[in-house]
């Protein structure tokens, strides 16, 4: 146990190259989404009424389920990391598999939600912002599912261990980021849009 803590401390003091690379990449991605949030608030500030007239207003039920799915997937992924740090790659892969499954569920459910909304991407600025921003987020979730599936495949092939789990850690940083972006999107489109 003390050996684990020591190695963990070392990890923290000296972030390895790939992890640092992922942190920087996520910083870059954060600026990417920040630009869209900037666009959202610019357009909203320029509009006379928000949401614009003629937009059926968003129902919060499916979106709340989506939020629960994504947040719990982050928690489950953290369980996977805990398991691998404890030296239990098998259990870690189970948790990771669950994360991937939750990610896929999120994608499916969001596509269903799209079909129920009653407005499209061409329906003015609200449709524009909603579909482009959530769509780009979905693309990122999709990318995360692919990335984590590759890590899962590595783990099943026995390539991950207590001392070597960088891909899992890098994947987790990315996945948590995607989760945070969703929470921002959920807040902006569902909680902060006047009814």
Residues near other proteins (CB under 8 A) are 14, 16-18, 20-21, 24-25, 27-29, 31-36, 38-39, 42-43, 46-47, 52, 121-122, 124-125, 127-128, 131-132, 136
CB closer to other proteins, 122 vs 195: 122
Q: Find the shortest distance in angstroms from Cβ 180 to other proteins.
A: 16
CB closer to other proteins, 71 vs 136: 136
Q: Which of 53, 88, 92 is nearest to 76 (CA)?
A: 92
d(CA 82, CA 3): 15
What are the percentages of helix, strand and coil residues in the chain, rounded to 5?
80, 0, 20
Q: Find the shortest distance in angstroms from Cβ 140 to other proteins.
A: 12
CB closer to other proteins, 47 vs 75: 47
Q: What tokens appear for 150 in the block?
A: 């590759």
Q: Find the shortest distance in angstroms from Cβ 152 to other proteins.
A: 22
Helical pair 17-46 and 124-156, crossing angle rounded to 10 deg? 170
Q: Find the shortest distance in angstroms from Cβ 4 to other proteins.
A: 20
DSSP character at residue 188: I
Tell the residue number behind the tokens 């599936």, with chain if given.
Answer: 149
DSSP character at residue 49: S
d(CA 133, CA 182): 10
Exposed, middle or buried: residue 113 (CB in 10 Å: 0-12, 13-18, 19+)? middle
CB closer to other proteins, 10 vs 61: 10
Q: Find the shortest distance in angstroms from Cβ 18 to other proteins.
A: 8
CB closer to other proteins, 8 vs 16: 16
């Amino acid at each position: 146990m003390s050996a684990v803590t020591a190695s963990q401390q070392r990890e923290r003091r000296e972030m390895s190259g790939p992890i640092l690379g992922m942190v920087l990449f996520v910083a870059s991605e954060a600026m990417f989404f920040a630009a869209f949030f900037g666009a959202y608030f610019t357009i909203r500030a320029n509009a006379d009424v928000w949401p614009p007239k003629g937009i059926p207003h968003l129902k919060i039920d499916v979106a709340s389920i989506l939020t629960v799915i994504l947040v719990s997937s982050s928690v489950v992924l953290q369980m996977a990391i805990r398991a691998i740090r404890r030296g239990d790659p098998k259990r870690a892969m189970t948790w990771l598999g669950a994360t991937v499954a939750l990610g896929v569920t999120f994608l499916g459910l969001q596509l269903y939600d799209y079909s129920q909304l009653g407005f499209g991407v061409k329906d003015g600025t609200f449709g524009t912002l909603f579909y482009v921003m959530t769509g780009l987020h979905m693309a990122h979730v999709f990318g995360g599912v692919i990335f984590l599936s590759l890590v899962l495949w590595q783990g099943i092939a026995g390539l991950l261990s207590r001392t070597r789990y960088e891909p899992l850690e890098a994947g987790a940083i990315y996945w948590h980021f995607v989760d945070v972006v969703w929470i921002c999107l959920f807040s902006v489109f569902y909680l902060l849009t006047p009814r």
